[in-house]
Amino acid sequence: MKKQVLAALLILSLLLCACGSGQNENSSPAAASSETAAAVPSSSPEDASVPGTTAFAGENVQTGGRDAIGENGVVATGREDATQIGIDILKAGGNAVDAAVAIGFALGVSEQQSSGIGGGGFMTVRFAQTGEVVFIDFRDVSGAGASLDHYEVLENGLVKDQANKIGALSIAVPGEVKGMLYALNTYGTMDRQTVMQPAIDLAENGFTVSHITSRDIKDAYPQISLFDATAAIYFDEDWMPWEAGAVITNPDLAATLRLIAEQGEEVFYKGEIAEKIVAAVQAEGGYLTLEDFANYEINVTEPVHGTYRGCDIYSSNLPSSGGTIIIEMLNILENFDVGTMDPESAEYFHLLSEVMKLGFADRSAYMGDPRYVDVPLSGLISKEYAAMQAARIDSTKAGDYTEGDPWGFESESTTSYSILDKAGNMVTVTKTVDATFASALVAEGTGILLNDTLVDFSLDPESPNVLAANKRPLSSMSPTLVLKDGQPLLALGAPGTTRIITGVMQVISKVIDHGMDIQDAIDAVRMHDDFGTLILERRVPDSVIAQLEAMGHKMNTGEEWFTFPCVQACERKADGTLKGAADPRRDGKALGY
């Protein structure tokens, strides 16, 4: 009876809630992707003294104390406990990849609502000794049984009972374990036990619930309540969400991580962990099989590469759209004298809005898993195509754009963290279980919260991103590296659905065009526009908003600070100083040594 009542509550809450964090970004122009936790900030006062966290208090955002300087290395993540683990690995003699892997497993414990070994992601790495840059794709993959036939699509375009978002029919084969261990084995210097032990300890001894985590649990209460194994972790003995300051332990996850540390990826993809996950999914009506797990492979490729005002940009390649569209947007911006514009003026926000709309029109039309669709990649990132796109912009009024024609230029809730060391090694990772608390299904006996990655596929059979068997869905995740004169400048990334793309692009532009310090660039007023509504943080004069409305922009200025994207970045300054910077829009914290 309890589950029936809670199921009714879930349906009611989904009807009432307009936050859209878990909707498929391809289901309608107004719908957001579910690669992040897009939650509503709490209006209650929050205490900055909660240990191990950095306070986030609705509109009373704490902007100080997020950044850090380091002589030997800097780390920026969305959780202070994970940042400290990364610094400890560097201090112990590990390299940037060792730290990245340790952080990845740790965030999968203390920020499991956003990422973890039940999900996947991307890593972009630059090696100082050789200058080589690699892109590791460990995105989740649909099973062999994936089909649109599993879902009943309603007249409003959404799936009945949100079956592609909540529960077993939303789950793809997770890639994180294989991706992290590949990076460690190929580019790291430490053993599995050393880099995984901090995460094991965190799961066994517990982590402190931040205000953000408590808020996320409360927002996902109806979904979590549907699955006993999930509720046992995230609810107290009275079946209520944990409050900030509580300590959550996850002994099943600690045991799972210990098995992986001892036996490697085989136990996750071909051993007892795979067996438990498949059993849990099939018991809830899903179709994943042991063969799906055994067949999972990562992809290691070159990142997509472009330039912006003489700086080299390396970012996520397909199946992420992020790197390509970031470079396309920057290429268009390069046709304008952005540095002379006031970064809080109507002129500036108008230009960014037009550039964003042009980029997203192309993203929607052309991008998907390259094994299933031809993508005009080199056309989209060409300077000539960008100049043609720039010519479509009217400086006096808002435009309504369809996709351009890049073929003629062809020669062809989420977390993010960044690491930069003194030698010049750079790592940035963006990874996810998709929506906040994902499918909400924890596989019994594993402590693993499983992804809802299948919601990132389109339901439109004509879309290049339509659901198909053994396919990676389109993503916006954009772990990005920027070099100037061949030397590290920025390592950055963010969670935040399609806002990842625009958030990363704006931070890069502010550092290069306006000469901003990285923390100032992250803290600056941010905007987003993908389908014709200019969403702007309301920290600008009313006169600016009025000017934009007069230019024809449909405005949304409801938030003083966005809840996402939350950019975590590292910068190497001209004098060689290393600086980590973290986003005050979430629990971000940078540390250095």
Which residues have a catalytic role annotated?
414
Which residue matches tokens 């999900």?
A: 119
H or E element: which one contains 325?
helix 322-333
CB 332 within 8 A of CB 392: no
**Which two three-digit tokens encode residue 12?**
């009611």
**Which two three-digit tokens encode residue 34?**
């579910």
565 upstream amide cis, omega within 30 of 0: yes
**Which two three-digit tokens encode residue 6?**
């809670």
Distance CA 101, CA 198 (A): 11
**Which two three-digit tokens encode residue 325?**
């569209």
Distance CA 462, CA 443 (A): 34
Q: Which residues contact 140 (CB under 8 A, 6 or more apart)?
A: 119, 120, 172, 173, 174, 175, 451, 453, 472, 473
Distance CA 451, CA 174 (A): 7
Distance CA 543, CA 534 (A): 15
Angle, helices 251-263/192-205, rounded to nearest 10 degrees = 170
Task: With CA atoms as reference, report the closest residue to 568 among 71, 67, 208, 106.
Answer: 67
Distance CA 383, CA 525 (A): 28
- The total of other beta-carbon atoms located within 10 Å of residue 570's CB is 33
The DSSP output letter for 239 is S
CB 117 within 8 A of CB 105: yes
Length of the chain in residues, anyone? 593
Provide the 3-class DSSP secondary structure of residue 304: strand
**Half-sphere exposure of 573 toward its Cβ, with a 13 Å CA cutoff?**
16
Q: What is the dihedral of CA 141, 146, 147, 151, to 10 degrees?
A: -100
β-pairing, 487-493 vs 415-421, is unpaired
Which residue matches tokens 């439109």?
A: 460
Amino acid in position 124: T
Distance CA 103, CA 85 (A): 6
Provide the 3-class DSSP secondary structure of residue 267: helix
Distance CA 91, CA 373 (A): 45
Task: With CA atoms as reference, report the closest residue to 535 among 561, 504, 569, 497.
Answer: 561
H or E element: which one contains 278?
helix 272-283
Instruction: Determine phi and psi for 74, rounding to 5 degrees.
Output: -135, 150
Which residue matches tokens 């191990």?
A: 52
